[in-house]
Structure 1
Amino acid sequence: MLDRAVIDALFPADLPEPEQWEQQYPPRQLPEAAQVTRFAPSPTGFVHIGGIYTATIDRDVATHSGGVYLVRIEDTDQSREVEGALTQFARGFEYFHLAADEDDGHGAYGPYRQSDRERIYLTYVRHLLRQGKAYLCFATKDELAEITARQQAAKVPPGYYGRWAIWRDADPADVAAKLSDGTPYVVRFRAPDDAAKRRVRFTDAIRGELEHEANRNDTVILKSSDQSPRLPTYHFAHAVDDHLMRVNLVVRGDEWISSVPLHLQLFDALGFVPPTYAHIAPLMKQIPGGKRKLSKRNDPEASVDFYLQAGYPAEPVLYYLRGLANGRLAEMPLDAALTTPIRLDQCGAAGPLVDLVKLEDISADYIATLTSRQVFDAVRAWATQHDPELADALNTETDLALRAIAVEREGVDNPRKDLHKWSDFRPAYGFFFPQLFTPLAGTNDQRITPLGVAPDVATSFARDFADGYEHRTDSQEWFNQLRELAATHGFAPTAKEYKNNPDAYAGSIREASQLVRVALTGSTRSPDLHAITQALGADEVLRRLRALGV
């Protein structure tokens, strides 16, 4: 074991002792059952929708227990940091109403960014070195590769442990010589001597009692001495941070279950009480023949930006995610499900399937409950970020937009459900706006061709309809003028009569109506035709009819 003076010389002379950090970050004064949770994203990649799922659980459990939900940025692996990742985290957390009680910028237990906590970590690394629970390791990459090759040849578990850990019990004189030469080193945690013979049992808040082999590896806890700043590895940093931030419940993905034995060893070596771990199952995707994890590389819907760019309202997405966490919440109305506590013991051990079709149905149901003004405000906010041309149309034609949205929405028992997300607005309602709609270019326009009406009939019908058009507010009276004109242009009064004698007619009243519909909307499918005319106004109706009647 190294002399204390040698150890202390490796660290800043003014480095605080552990007691000082303990005083700076005292136990929280919270109710006895309060849960302090943390969501700890790493800026080495863009946030997965599973991150929103986890953060939702974190925030809910903390809030309903009278505890604290904090966000801590785990950026110790700075070489892999992705530019813009932290901005995306902030954007996603704001959109999904997951603002933390404490995070980088406010809170008494910060800093909440690991790269700003170097001195804290160094204190506890020094503490373990002084106690002989950690040691300096000068092994080179080549030496580590040689050890791995020899282990493979000997058919023993790979790793840096026991007799394979060549600096574990090194002579202090050899260590001093390396230090004198300025040889770079890392600091490794000294796993318990009997770790290879032990089993670890712990209680998972979701999965119950679990048992695993104890960690045998002398894991690196402080990265190479030739790096600045001197930052720890995730395993060590999270143990120090969770203790000093007084986190008592860690909700994280089940890929971390295998790390629990190491983490428990670190908490024990540091003299900390470990938190309760709750390992959630990953979100899954149905594929032919089975299912697999939802992947950011292969599945667009895995990225949080997918939902923001498409414009899914936050409420139905959160409702859907909460239902994946606890099935009973999926059976509740949305408002109730968003306020009913999530229970960890009802989170399944099998990964729930993400079904976008189901999410879109939920979202459409939600949007159908909103007023025209609420839809307008939400679409405009989305379009400002993602569709500037639409945003300009909404700002220029606000009254028209409100009239358009109100069609078959206001004053009806079953509102339209043509919007599943805000990006659906332009395809569904864009035709209402003159600056977004291209009028038909006469009967040669391909949008007319599928109706099967002779071009000269279509032209004369549209021209005559425009010439005698009356902008009637009564829907039946409005339609009667169309019906009367259709009869004079050779259209059958009913589809049945046309079907019985197709050669005698230019089409049926259906085709005549569809001519007007396509002229006004550019599509054969649209809301109620009379309601559209009332939203557009007489001048715009006539402009579009005359474009067809050219």
Structure 2
Amino acid sequence: MTLGRPVPSNGVQSERLPVYQEHVQTLLDHDHAYRCFCTPEQLESQKRELHEAGKPTVYPGTCRSIDAAESDRRAKAGESHVVRFKSDKFGRPKLHDAIYGRFQKKDMEEDFILMKTDGFPTYHLANVVDDHLMKITHVIRGEEWLISTPKHVALYEAFGWQPPTFAHLGLLVDLDGSKLSKRNDSVNISKYQTGGTFPMALLSWLANLGSSFKRDVQLPRTVEDVANALTFKFTRGGIKLNLSKLEYFNNRYRDAMLWKPVPALADEEAKLIDQHLTQPILSEIEAITAGSIESAGLTARAWQLPPELVPTLTDPTKKGQYVYKAIISKQGGFQSPSDLISQHPYLFWRVPLDVYKTSLAKARPEPKVLAALEEAISQESFWDGDCSPVMQAIQSKVEPQGVDQLTIHNVLRVIAAGGQDVVSQSSSRMFALLGRDEWAHRLNVVKGLLSELNEG
């Protein structure tokens, strides 16, 4: 099945030529079609004469007067010909399009070609025959085919078949209204497969191109939910490919899977999180560490490259779970994996010495907080679970000595992230994620640098 449409077992058109020839013969037998023996030179001459006379340059029906016996004889003799449809027998067909409503062309159709000189059918014949034989009930295609649909309706009538429901959708265009091309990266599906885009986000985005979800509907989590959420009211004309809307859906799905899990989908969505979020983040971290790609975020922070990974990320058995914990710890979401890395590099790499030195030169951390943190690190039991006892121990130690909350958090930010003005996680989350050993390492680095500064 492709988009709900079964593919014929002999789907190669060249293998289906006898089917098309049989149906063309049916039209010939019922006087709904005729053979046209006009040469290309004759057709060109006819067009020129019509143009010079100020008339429409449509085929004038030159070969319609050839009787059936002569037509059969000339065809059997191998004379080159096409088969044309007798359009005037069916007037100006009307149709009701599911999107555009009532549609009827102002002018009569010309006698369009059904079978070409090489014996292959035109699209007009092939799509009607194939759709009927496959019992297609709804034909959904681009709006550029609406103008040709009266031809197809006439063919359905000529064969005595019930036409399907037609729905002609607007074409996807760039934000400037220009037509998309294969050279445009936006139409490359592999970009979304490898770019951290969740399947349901992509599906919801595509479903909303030219349509919309119903009001107050919850975020669909399954294909069935998407179908139930859609209004199935479509806009007419070109549909702009708004990639910011895809980012919006992707962030909503990511946040929903991370912080509002659905029990029935938990296993499947955990795999999606790993495939489209955890692994891409890991790959980017490892590429930056190896020096194969640059990080504008790290460069802007004056971090020396390549940076040193936190030890947990060097352990193949732990690094995936560590990154997942880093993602979960970032409550409130983030725009992209690259944003998480560039905004919070201290979660993945150890803070470079030069970054610490620059920060310490601006302001020395409160010694009472350093001492309280060192004491809390010595208590291994404080570091179980969410590590809340660590923060409680520090506060209970220094607040009676007149140290306020802001000062406490500023010192902890310097140690964990390399500066008190760095956008960071809450101290409690950083305790839980980085862990006791890493906090001990960073505290010792800061203390060593402070000793050097004091001696200097």
Q: Does 1:538 align with 2:423?
A: no
- CA-based RMSD of the aligned residues comes to 4.9
Question: Secondary structure of 1:310's partner?
Answer: coil
Q: Of 70, 73, 86, which aligns to 1:191?
A: 86
Contact 1:376 1:401 in 2 (8 A): no
Cα deviation, 1:304-351, whole Å, max 9, x if unaligned, reads: 44433333223234344445565462531124952527565x334455
Cα deviation, 1:261-291, whole Å, max 9, x if unaligned, reads: 111122122232211212233456554xxxx
Cα distance in structure 2, aligned partners of 1:168 and 1:426 = 73
2:148 corresponds to: 259
2:106 corresponds to: 213
Q: Does 1:439 align with 2:355?
A: no
Cα distance in structure 2, aligned partners of 1:431 and 1:378 = 26
Q: Cα distance, 1:525 vs. partner?
A: 3.0
Q: Does 1:367 align with 2:249?
A: no
Distance 1:264 1:547, change over 3 A: farther
Q: TM-score, normalised by structure 1?
A: 0.57
Q: Cα distance, 1:539 vs. partner?
A: 3.0
Q: Does 1:416 align with 2:343?
A: no
Cα distance in structure 2, aligned partners of 1:137 and 1:429 = 73
Q: Does 1:516 align with 2:412?
A: no
Q: Does 1:119 align with 2:30?
A: no
Cα distance in structure 2, aligned partners of 1:317 and 1:114 = 32
1:340 corresponds to: 228
Q: Cα distance, 1:407 vs. partner?
A: 1.8
Task: Please give the residue correspondences for 1:312-331 in structure 2 after superposition, counting only pairs within 5 Å.
Answer: 312-323=197-208, 327=212, 329-331=214-216
Cα distance in structure 2, aligned partners of 1:116 and 1:320 = 38
Q: State the structure with bigger RCO (CA 8 A, min sep 6), 1 or 2.
A: 1
Cα deviation, 1:33-82, whole Å, max 9, x if unaligned, reads: xxxxxxxxxxxxxxxxxxxxxxxxxxxxxxxxxxxxx53xxxxxxxxxxx
Q: TM-score, normalised by structure 2?
A: 0.67
In structure 1, runs of 5+ residues without a counterpart are: 1-69, 72-97, 409-414, 486-491, 496-507
Cα distance in structure 2, aligned partners of 1:136 and 1:396 = 73
Contact 1:376 1:405 in 2 (8 A): no
Q: Of 251, 271, 276, which aligns to 1:377?
A: 271
Q: Does 1:406 align with 2:328?
A: yes
Question: Secondary structure of 1:252's partner?
Answer: strand
1:454 corresponds to: 361
Q: Cα distance, 1:258 vs. partner?
A: 0.6
Cα deviation, 1:357-386, whole Å, max 9, x if unaligned, reads: 344334323322224776652133337997
Cα distance in structure 2, aligned partners of 1:142 and 1:391 = 66
Which region of structure 1 is more displaced relative to structure 2, 168-177 or 366-375? 168-177
Q: Cα distance, 1:530 vs. partner?
A: 3.2
Cα distance in structure 2, aligned partners of 1:356 and 1:514 = 35
Contact 1:250 1:277 in 2 (8 A): yes
Letter in 1 for 2:350: P
Cα distance in structure 2, aligned partners of 1:112 and 1:295 = 28
Letter in 2 for 1:382: H
Contact 1:281 1:350 in 2 (8 A): yes
Distance 1:493 1:391, change over 3 A: closer
Question: Secondary structure of 1:162's partner?
Answer: coil
Select the structure of larger CA radius of gyration.
2
Contact 2:83 2:113 in 1 (8 A): yes
Which region of structure 1 is more displaced relative to structure 2, 249-258 or 368-377? 368-377
Cα distance in structure 1, aligned partners of 2:122 and 2:285 = 46
Cα distance in structure 1, aligned partners of 2:94 and 2:362 = 81
Cα deviation, 1:7-26, whole Å, max 9, x if unaligned, reads: xxxxxxxxxxxxxxxxxxxx
Contact 2:34 2:86 in 1 (8 A): no
- How many residue pairs match? The answer is 400
1:238 corresponds to: 127
Report which of the two has the higher share of helix: 2
Question: Secondary structure of 2:257's partner?
Answer: coil
Contact 2:124 2:152 in 1 (8 A): yes
Q: Cα distance, 1:241 vs. partner?
A: 1.3
Q: Cα distance, 1:243 vs. partner?
A: 1.0
Distance 1:330 1:255, change over 3 A: farther
Q: Of 261, 264, 283, which aligns to 1:389?
A: 283
Contact 1:324 1:330 in 2 (8 A): no
Which region of structure 1 is more displaced relative to structure 2, 251-260 or 475-484? 475-484
Cα deviation, 1:441-461, whole Å, max 9, x if unaligned, reads: 421x5xx69x76528969x99
Contact 1:383 1:391 in 2 (8 A): no
Question: Secondary structure of 2:214's partner?
Answer: helix
Cα distance in structure 2, aligned partners of 1:169 and 1:545 = 99
Contact 2:416 2:439 in 1 (8 A): no
Q: Cα distance, 1:240 vs. partner?
A: 0.5
Cα distance in structure 1, aligned partners of 2:76 and 2:211 = 55
